[in-house]
Amino acid sequence: MRWMKHACLIAAFTAIAGAATAAPRYVLELFTSQGCSSCPPADELLAKLADDPQFLALSLPVDYWDRLGWKDTFAKHAFTERQYAYARIRGDGQVYTPQVVVNGSEHANGANRRAIDASAETTTPPQLPVSVKRSGDEIEVTVGATGSGSPRATVVLLPYLGSRAVAIGRGENARRKIAYTNIVREIIPVGEWSGAGASFKAKLANDQGYDGVVVLVQEGTPANPGAILGTALLPLHGPRA
């Protein structure tokens, strides 16, 4: 089971290996927390959406509910900062859990499939050609060209864990065991893109046990993220029995 969602995420990106399958139309970033009683339905829904090739579904656990009696074992303050940055850029100031941000531009209640679909339909799917491969201990990313007039964008790597279950001992979800899907572990900027074809290289820590890495080409900067222009995925481990 821990590898199932990882395999689905890989299947959604068979275009990277040279097949003609289209890349996902919607990047979903679920801001969730093990300390939030409203989040388990959203975590479950995200796992189902990860089976749908039109979605690239990611979990970004935040740390602002750690004060409720349970410290989220996956939370990173960088994910909290990213969620607040999205709200600032959108101008609505809405920060909550469970919140899904779609294609870096719209948001919805992460437990409400209809709301997610409605938000998704108002966004522009990522269309910029992006490829990624591993060369020795380096990750190599290639981004296509669109010509002059392209917005300033940042290329970021999001290494992730495919699927993990957590037994929660205290707080609002005490005594529950909850499965999390495609859990982002870092946000790693690797360079800027401004319309011309470009290549980038980066290294990942070898001892973190990541299952794969997602590449996003995203308008703005990591501190001020905007619309997602392109995406690609590199599996780092194959399915295990």
Q: What is the CATH number of the domain that holds 96?
A: 2.60.40.2150
Q: Quick check: is 43 in a domain? A: yes
Residue 33 confidence (pLDDT) above 80:
yes
3-state SS class at 70? coil
Residue 223 confidence (pLDDT) above 50:
yes
Instruction: Report which of 222, 227, 87 is spatially closest to residue 154, judged by C-alpha positions.
Output: 222
* pLDDT at residue number 191: 96
- Read off the pLDDT of each residue in 9-37 and give the average, rounded to a whole number: 69
Q: What percent of the chain is predicted at pLDDT more than 70?
A: 88
CB 182 within 8 A of CB 74: no
CA 28 to chain centre: 6
3-state SS class at 86? helix
* pLDDT at residue number 35: 96
- Tokens 């890349």 found at: 23
* pLDDT at residue number 88: 97
CB 165 within 8 A of CB 179: yes
Supply angle C-alpha 194, 157, 84, rounded to 5.
85
* pLDDT at residue number 180: 98
Element (H, E) at 186: none
Half-sphere exposure of 121 (CA within 13 A, CB side): 5
Q: Quick check: is 240 in a domain? A: no
Enter the tokens of residue 204.
């990942």
Q: Which domain holds residue 135?
A: 4-235
Q: Quick check: is 14 in a domain? A: yes
Residue 3 confidence (pLDDT) above 80:
no
Confidence of residue 22 (pLDDT cuts 50, 70, 90): low
Q: Quick check: is 223 in a domain? A: yes
* pLDDT at residue number 207: 62
Q: For residues 109 and 97, what is the distance between their CA atoms, to the nearest angstrom? A: 8
Tally Cβ neighbours within 10 Å of residue 157.
22
Lowest mean pLDDT across 78-92, 138-152, 172-186, 215-229: 138-152
Q: What is the pLDDT of residues 63-74, one digit of tens each?
A: 999 999 999 999
Tally Cβ neighbours within 10 Å of residue 167.
11
Give the phi and the psi of residue 209 in degrees, each rounded to 5.
Answer: 70, 30
Report CA-CA distances (Å) from 2 to 120, 181, 232, 234, 238.
Answer: 27, 9, 22, 18, 12
Give the phi and the psi of residue 17 in degrees, each rounded to 5.
Answer: -85, 5
Q: For residues 43 and 28, what is the distance between their CA atoms, to the nearest angstrom? A: 12
Residue 25 confidence (pLDDT) above 90:
yes
* pLDDT at residue number 9: 53
Q: Quick check: is 193 in a domain? A: yes
Q: Quick check: is 241 in a domain? A: no
Q: How many domains does the chain have?
A: 1
Q: Quick check: is 148 in a domain? A: yes
